[in-house]
Amino acid sequence: MTSPRYGADEKMVFAVLVVLVVLLVGVVTSFTGQPGTAITSTSSAEQSRTFYSTTSPLGLRLQVQLNTSAFESGSGLTAQVAVFNALGQNLSLTPTYQGNSTILGWDGYDYFCGNSGDPLRALLGYALFSGDYSAGNISLAGDPLQLAPPVGVSCVTYAAEGQVVFLPESDRIVYDELGSLQDFVEPLTLSAATESCQNPTPGTSDCGAAKGLSGYWNVTGTGMLQPQEAAVGSNYFVYFPPGEYTLAVQDEWGQSLYAHFEVTPYSTPSSGRSTTTASTDSALAADCPPMGPAPTSGR
C-alpha cells in the first residue's frame, strides 16, 4: 500500500513534468508557429529577390536585387542593379560607346542630369515599365515611366571612362576618366529610384533621388516644372497603381535583364487610425544587401 507521502510526491513530480512539457511546446510554437514546422520569416531581407542574367562570353553578368517582391501602393521598394565579373581574375575592357542608344535614352526618364551627370551611367542603365515584360515582348512596352521630373538643375558633365578593369568575382571596377591622370575604384552599381525635389525653406530647393522606387511623374504635355511642383505630393506625382512592373536593365556590352515586382492595393487602416496616404519611409528603410555571386546551380 502506498503511503500518503509517497502519493503526494508522485503527484508533484507528475505536475512538474506536465509544466515542463507545456513550456517546451510553447517554446517550439513560439519559434516555428506550429510544433515541427519550418520557421517562416517576414523580414524584408528574407523577402528580397535577386535576378541574374547568363554570364556573357566576356565573363560579365547583370544582377538586379529587390528588397521585396511586392508592396502596397503608396509605399515602395529599394532596387540595386549591377554588372558583376564572374571570373576569378581581372577583366580589362575598353568601352566603345557605340550603338547603345538605349541606355542614353533611358537616362532621360530616370535621372535629373540625363547622361551627363554620372560617368557610370554610360556603362549601365535601367528603365521601369508598367506591365510584365521580357526580352520577347519588351518592344511592345512603349516609353518607360518618368522617374525623374523635368526640372532645370545644375549638372556637372564628366568625361567618359577610358579603360575599365573589373576586379575578380566582384562588381567593383578600376577606371580612369578620359583626360584624367587619376584612377577611380568603385562598384559598377546603380540604385533605381524615384527622383524629386524638396523645398526646405522658401526660395530654396534640394533635388535628388529618394531611397527607392515609389512612384512616377505624369508630365505628358507639360514643360519644365518648378522645384515646388517636383515634390512628392504635387499634382504631377503618382504613386504606382496596383499591377505588375518590370525593371529593365542593360549594360554597355549588350547584356539585358528583366526583374519583376508587384504593387498591391493600399490597405485602409482599421477604424480609429489615420487614413492618410501610406508613407514610403518604412518600406524604403532597409537597403538592399551588397551584391554577390549568383548561385552556381542552373548555370
Digit-coded pLDDT (tens) for 213-259? 999 999 988 888 888 888 888 999 999 999 999 999 999 998 999 99
Question: For residues 248 and 258, is the Cβ–Cβ distance under 8 A?
Answer: yes
Residue 187 domain-assigned (yes or no): yes
Q: Which residue spans within 178-296 are E strands per DSSP?
A: 183-187, 189-192, 195-198, 206-209, 215-217, 237-239, 243-251, 256-264
Residue 170 domain-assigned (yes or no): yes
Residue 7 domain-assigned (yes or no): no
- Domain total of the chain: 1
Least confident of 129-133, 173-177, 285-289: 285-289
Residue 43 domain-assigned (yes or no): no
Distances (CA, A) of 226 to 57, 203, 255: 46, 11, 37
Question: Strand, helix or coil at 166?
Answer: strand
Pairing outcome for strands 91-93 and 161-166 = antiparallel
pLDDT of amino acid 286:
47
Question: For residues 45 and 64, is the Cβ–Cβ distance under 8 A?
Answer: no
Residue 291 domain-assigned (yes or no): no
Specify the higher pLDDT residue, 261 or 202: 261
User: Where do the H-state alpha helices sit in the chain?
Assistant: 4-32, 101-110, 281-284
Question: Which of 264, 258, 271 lies closest to 81 in space, CA to CA?
Answer: 258
Residue 104 domain-assigned (yes or no): yes
Residue 286 domain-assigned (yes or no): no
pLDDT digits (tens, 9 = 90+) for 4-35: 444 445 444 444 443 343 333 343 332 222 22
Residue 231 domain-assigned (yes or no): yes
Domain that holds residue 177: 56-266
